[in-house]
Structure 1
Amino acid sequence: MTLTKSKKKQDLLNEPVSLTLKNMTIPMIMGMVLLMTFNLVDTFFVGLLGTQPLAAISFTFPITFTVISLAIGLGIGTSAVIAKTLGRGDVESARDSATVAMIMTAIIVVLVSMLGLAFSEQIFTLLGAKQSLLPLIHDYMDLWFLGSIGLIGPMTGNAILRASGDTVTPSYVMGGAGLINAVLDPILIFGLGPIPAMGIKGAAIATLFSWAFGLIVILYILGVRRQMIHLKLPQLLILKKCTREILHIGLPAAGANMLTPIAAAVMTAIVASYGEAAVAAFGVGSRIESIACLVVLALSMTLPPFISQNFGAGKMERVEEAYKTSTKFVLIWQVGVYVLMALLAPFIAAAFAKEQTVADIIKLFIYILPLGYGLQGIIILTNSSFNALHKPMAALALSIIRLFVFYVPLAYLGSLMFDLMGLFAGALLGNLLMALLSYHLFTRQFIEPECMTESKPS
């Protein structure tokens, strides 16, 4: 049996490297423009409710991103295993892995979310949230945790499609989900006709509806249209084998991804010492970052399946070309993004903040941190490339070094010397040092052939 063919799939093993990456990445960008507006749209409309609701939703970001990062990490393991298997031409094993990945991710995400729901109050108190904000945080997070199983659609399901070379279909799914969220947000937050105004709770409900849409569509495409997953439980031996292979990469990748929101939580706690206005502004800046780094994030989803398939086929010269081309491009691209953001900073701040204090901090954020988004792009692409080469522990080690040797410590030291300006400048310096280290370690593999030996699951 062979997988249903799709005209949307790219030939990752034979077509020109730059052209293939471009053809895979452009559809991802288009879909992510809407998908990445989830948090940004929520932030914009919640910001219209005032500084307190904006601060409340800002406190939720590290936690929601932790769960999402877990799902993304498992998706990385899924994509790496399936893409490499397809590179070797083993379609049936790829289908087994895809089926197991959907089941396994659903179970893990639900378990983690239930823990989050059970200890919600303690978690947000630890982050520095005041008692007055906890009811607002509960309004958003209680629903968010309950609906988190929907994450397996946009995270794991789309990872399976990307592993086969199809980035067009995932872009449609992400775009549709983002559009649903954007339409429902103002209706549910402020009310319309018979629909009552639900405030911050309405933002959570809008997100859940968009996830449900993505999950239903993905299950239909994978199970019925493409036959990329089985519609029944796999045999126990296959279940154990595929779980082991995916977790070999997925758990370290999830751990590495989850370090980012943990670091964001630490940063939020540091920022909280400057007051609610600073937290609100930092939350806005963090969400703007997801849009500003859109191309980087899209490349981080398209580069790994390209690398994994060519790795499986033994075409390492294409792996090297793809990595170097991608990192060079993101550096140049993000310089242009920074110039545009700096010019628009006053207008962005005015759009997201009612109070002048919040607006001033948003502008300070934009003038400093986005200078390092190209460097951050190198770090992200290096980590995803190590995972694609089935070297998850290297990616995990780099993530630990970045966040807890460079990024957070330098930001904290900067805050001690120059307050918020120093915090942002320290984070920028951390990204610079880590980008240099990441690029050096990855490119060294192509000079030292012994470093390219395949990593085996334990």
Structure 2
Amino acid sequence: MIVGMIMLMTFSIVDTFFVSLIGTNELAAISFTFPVTFTVISLNIGLGIGTSAVIGKYLGAGDDSKAKVLATGSIMLATLLVGILSVFGYFSIGPIFSLMGAQEELIPLIYDYMSIWYLAGVFLAIPMVGNAVLRASGDTKTPSIIMALGGAINAILDPILIFGWLGFPALGIQGAAIATCIAWAVCSVWIIYLLAVKRQLMEAKILNWQEFRAAANGVLTIGLPAAGSNMLTPITAAVVTYIVAQYGAESVAAWGVGNRLESIASIVVLALSMSLPPFISQNFGANQYARIQASYQLCIKFVMIWQLIIFAILALSSRFIASIFAEEQAVADLITLFLLIVPLGYGLQGIVILTNSSFNAMHKPMIALWLSIIRLFVCYIPITALGSYWFGLEGLFWGCVLANVVAAIVSLVWFKTSISKIQKQSCIDNADQANSI
């Protein structure tokens, strides 16, 4: 899972690196796109969570035919929903990014990138949900290989299309989006072939309305709250980006680089958030609550230690990293400041992410959604806004850390309380069953 997540995140990092070589305005433009692109990605992640949970249940029960129909319906649903979101996004590029605080001179650059990226987002839906089907069937290796191929294609095509190598026209920031679109299109073809032909994990046909509706309802029961929870993150990022934009294009560029580095720095947490749920779901079904608690606590302890090590590495190498992504000294200084402060809270953020995925695994997606709402809208936005108001950009960075402290405490308490209630209810149910016998 770590390998697969790294490959997914390299799309953003590679694009950011090559675009940074063009200029500060281009880097600022692609930084503004992060909240919007992550909204589409979050929808795909949520649908993948719902797909994996429901298909895993059917496969575990030996009902392969229902699993195949649901896999087909899931991919159809993801393509439809992401397609609708992308069409809306395409026709609202100007208004949305203006509301986010993008300066007028950046809008044409943003349009060049996003007008292509929205098409790429539709292609992304297919491999992301398709990979969830593979993971539900017990295969975590193939999804990593598929994303590795996509990452490699993107990395190869980026400099060719951005700078006009090998006789191709120099397309600038638009070239980065085209490279991503081609990479995900190739991944889409491969995953459909694997699922429909080689593995026979989905139907090689378009479902009728009744079949599609039944599959969609099953996926959306868990997938919709999970998608909503994930989509809150880019919405929050858009608000914070607007605050950062008040400090100028250099600050937005540094903030964008920091966010993309955060994705890589948190890669182990994200991988655990996708590998822990199947373990919890299995033990939840078997009423093995002690194992759920033990696995959750083990992951929390590991993530805290791991992310402290990552923080130390980022802090010590902050100036070197900044020099890679920034040509201007002002941008490099802000990237350095970001890396000296914000990563301190990544371990605490990991607690929230793992708690969220654990609640989804226990078929409690609404609790996960509320936890995300509290973290982002009760903690993150207010605290970072106050930090910015009182202490400037550095105060905003420290606000990110403090918000994660508060959210982590809420997560730990909520999980402990919930698992205790579930255990008590299970004991009552077992007692009632014994009495009835």
**TM-score grouping bracket, smaller chain normalisation:** over 0.9
Cα pair distance change 1:451/1:300, threshold 3 Å? farther
Alignment correspondent of 2:19: 46
Q: Which amino acid aligns with 1:144?
A: W
- The CA distance in 2 between the partners of 1:307 and 1:260, in whole Å, is 24
Alignment correspondent of 1:360: 333
Which structure has more relative contact order (CA 8 Å, sep 6+)? It is 1
Greater shift, 236-245 or 356-365, is seen at 236-245
Cα pair distance change 1:452/1:32, threshold 3 Å? farther
Deviations 1:292-319 (Å, cap 9, x if unpaired)?
0011111112122232333344444433
The 3-state SS of whatever aligns with 1:83 is: helix
- The CA distance in 1 between the partners of 2:416 and 2:186, in whole Å, is 41
Deviation of 1:450 (Å): 5.8
Deviations 1:133-179 (Å, cap 9, x if unpaired)?
11100110001112321112332011111122211111101111111
Deviation of 1:89 (Å): 3.5
Alignment correspondent of 1:208: 181
Deviations 1:425-457 (Å, cap 9, x if unpaired)?
11110101111111221122332236777xxxx
Deviation of 1:53 (Å): 0.3
- The CA distance in 2 between the partners of 1:152 and 1:272, in whole Å, is 30
The 3-state SS of whatever aligns with 2:420 is: coil
Alignment correspondent of 1:242: 215
- The CA distance in 2 between the partners of 1:79 and 1:176, in whole Å, is 22
Cα RMSD (Å) of the superposition? 1.5
Alignment correspondent of 2:362: 389
User: For 1:134-283, what aligned pairs fall within 5 Å after superposition?
Assistant: 134-283=107-256
Q: Percent identity?
A: 57
Deviations 1:177-225 (Å, cap 9, x if unpaired)?
1111111111110011320111000000010011011111111111111
Alignment correspondent of 1:98: 71
Alignment correspondent of 2:258: 285
Cα pair distance change 1:236/1:312, threshold 3 Å? farther
Cα pair distance change 1:178/1:356, threshold 3 Å? same
| Count of aligned pairs | 426
Cα pair distance change 1:91/1:319, threshold 3 Å? farther
Deviation of 1:278 (Å): 0.1
Please tell me whether residue 34 in structure 1 is matched to residue 7 in structure 2.
Answer: yes
Which protein is richer in helix relative to its size?
2
Q: Which amino acid aligns with 2:158?
A: D
CA contact (8 A) 1:368 1:424 kept: yes
The 3-state SS of whatever aligns with 1:383 is: helix
Please tell me whether residue 89 in structure 1 is matched to residue 62 in structure 2.
Answer: yes
CA contact (8 A) 1:349 1:362 kept: yes
Deviations 1:13-32 (Å, cap 9, x if unpaired)?
xxxxxxxxxxxxxxx21232
Deviation of 1:79 (Å): 1.1
Indicate which of 419, 423, 428 corresponds to 1:446: 419
Alignment correspondent of 2:429: none
Relative to the length of structure 2, the TM-score reads 0.94
Deviation of 1:235 (Å): 5.0
Alignment correspondent of 1:309: 282
Greater shift, 180-189 or 229-238, is seen at 229-238
Greater shift, 86-95 or 127-136, is seen at 86-95
Deviation of 1:369 (Å): 0.7
Indicate which of 347, 364, 380 corresponds to 2:353: 380
Cα pair distance change 1:283/1:295, threshold 3 Å? same
Deviations 1:415-434 (Å, cap 9, x if unpaired)?
11110111011111010111
The 3-state SS of whatever aligns with 2:35 is: helix
Relative to the length of structure 1, the TM-score reads 0.90
Q: Which amino acid aligns with 1:246?
A: V
- The CA distance in 2 between the partners of 1:374 and 1:167, in whole Å, is 25
Q: Which amino acid aligns with 2:243?
A: I
CA contact (8 A) 2:119 2:181 kept: no
